[in-house]
Amino acid sequence: MGVTIFTQEFTTPIAPPRMFKALIVDSHNLIPKIAPQGIKSIEFLKGDGRAGSIKYILIKGNVIFDKIEKVIYEVQFLALGNCGCICKMTNEYHTKGDVQLNEEDIKQRKEEAMGLYKVVEEFLLANPNAYD
């Protein structure tokens, strides 16, 4: 099994608790509403959304996942002064067999992740009372 790890980060004017609630805690409700073109389904494999819950997210039209055994996502929302945060993401892809992800696969995943985070950020900016 091959392992590919990539990290990325971005700065947002949204406070860490709001980003966490929208992107992590309530993603199964919010993301299908604001980005239905990108998500096929989201279901809980374990838990009910609280700490320790495990969600299974199926992304539409993403052939990269034919190569993937499992993915581990780590996301941190670090406070940035009095407002906003730095969002740090680490994605660890475990491929099937000896398959290696190529640069185009990695670039595609980074763009998809950033696109989703930006859509959520735009939603929160347009709805300042959401996820307070």
| Extended beta strands in 1-132, E state | 3-12, 39-46, 54-59, 68-79, 85-95
- What CATH code is assigned to 3-126? 3.30.530.20
State which amino acid sits at residue 74.
Answer: E
pLDDT in tens, the chain (132 residues): 788 888 999 999 999 999 999 988 888 889 888 887 766 666 666 776 666 666 666 555 555 667 888 888 888 999 998 889 999 999 888 888 888 888 887 888 788 888 888 999 999 999 999 999
Collapsing DSSP to helix, strand or coil, 75 comes out as: strand
Is 78 within 8 Å of 3 (Cβ atoms)? no
Encode 14-50 in three state secondary structure: CCHHHHHHHHHHCHHHHHHHHCCCCEEEEEEEECCCC
